[in-house]
């Protein structure tokens, strides 16, 4: 049988792949993104991640004391905008995330956030044409020295999540977070169907 992480990977694969087609991320990978577009991207990311951090921080559930701690990283986005000469361009209101009311949902949302941080380093290497050095303007994508340890703590917590109901909560919360990100990051001038998924999985318990 698979682990909780296996179910999260499989259950979110389609929406995860869809996110790769956002114009700004494609331009980042192609190293063609212009400074104004990059600043707008940073602002949109700040609105999403700041709201997500608030939702994680205000989550209430019985197992809160044992839950992995939240590392606050949205301030890196503000620093990057300031480093590139703009503290306002692209800055938006925070996204209103769904309230987190269970341990499984908390881990599912954290899975989306921590996974995005681990994947951001590949994008940081694509910003040499905009950033004068290795730190200025790309600290969010580059991440910090503690990101790997945070990911490992989350993986251990997910590996201990064995109740089918909690696993379903984790998957549904991860899907909701991905879908919210997809909608939030899509330019307003672009309209296309938003992928909607339901978590469908066998109900048998999973071995730790």
Q: Which residues of 87-109 are buried (b: 16+ CB within 10 A; e: fewer)?
A: eeebbeebbebeebebbbbbbbb
Name the residue range of residue 41's domain: 4-185
Is the pLDDT reported for residue 195 higher than 60? no
Q: Is 102 inside any structural domain?
A: yes
Q: Decide if 84 is inside a domain.
A: yes
Whether residue 190 is contained in a domain is answered as no
CA-closest candidate to residue 73, choices 152, 2, 142, 168 = 142
**Rounded CA separation 198/172 (Å):** 7
pLDDT per residue as tens digits for the range 44-80: 999 999 999 999 999 999 999 999 988 888 999 999 9
In a domain, 10, yes or no: yes
Q: What is the dihedral of CA 52, 53, 57, 60, to 10 degrees?
A: 20
Give the pair of three-digit tokens for residue 73.
């990283």
Is residue 99 assigned to a domain?
Answer: yes
For the domain that residue 42 is a member of, what is the CATH number? 1.20.910.10
Q: Quick check: is 202 in a domain?
A: no
- How big is the CA angle at 92 (ends 196 and 34), to the nearest 5 degrees? 90
pLDDT for residue 171 is more than 90? yes
In a domain, 148, yes or no: yes
Q: Cα(155)–Cα(199) distance, rounded to whole angstroms? A: 20
- Binned at pLDDT 50, 70 and 90, residue 166 comes out as very high
Q: In a 3-state reduction of DSSP, which class is residue 82?
A: helix
In a domain, 196, yes or no: no
pLDDT, tens digit, for every residue of 140-162? 999 888 888 888 999 999 999 98
Number of domains making up the chain: 1
Q: Which residue has the tokens 């990283």?
A: 73
Dihedral sign computed on CA atoms, order 152, 157, 162, 163: negative
């Amino acid at each position: 049988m698979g682990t909780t992480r296996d179910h999260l990977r499989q259950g979110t694969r389609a929406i995860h792949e869809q996110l790769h087609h956002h114009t700004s991320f494609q331009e980042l990978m192609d190293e063609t993104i212009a400074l104004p577009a990059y600043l707008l991207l940073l602002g949109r990311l700040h609105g999403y991640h700041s709201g997500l951090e608030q939702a994680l921080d205000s989550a209430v559930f019985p197992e809160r004391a044992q839950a992995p701690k939240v590392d606050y990283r949205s301030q890196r986005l503000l620093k990057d905008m300031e480093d590139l000469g703009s503290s306002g361009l692209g800055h938006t209101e925070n996204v209103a995330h769904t309230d987190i009311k269970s341990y499984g949902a908390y881990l599912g949302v954290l899975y989306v956030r921590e996974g995005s941080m681990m994947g951001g380093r590949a994008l940081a290497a694509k910003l040499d044409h905009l950033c004068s050095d290795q730190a200025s303007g790309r600290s969010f994508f580059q991440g910090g020295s503690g990101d790997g340890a945070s990911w490992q703590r989350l993986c251990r917590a997910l590996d201990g999540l064995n109740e089918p109901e909690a696993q379903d909560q984790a998957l549904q919360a991860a899907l909701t977070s991905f879908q919210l990100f997809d909608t939030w990051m899509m330019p307003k001038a672009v309209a296309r169907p938003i992928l909607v998924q339901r978590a469908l999985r066998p109900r048998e318990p999973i071995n730790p």
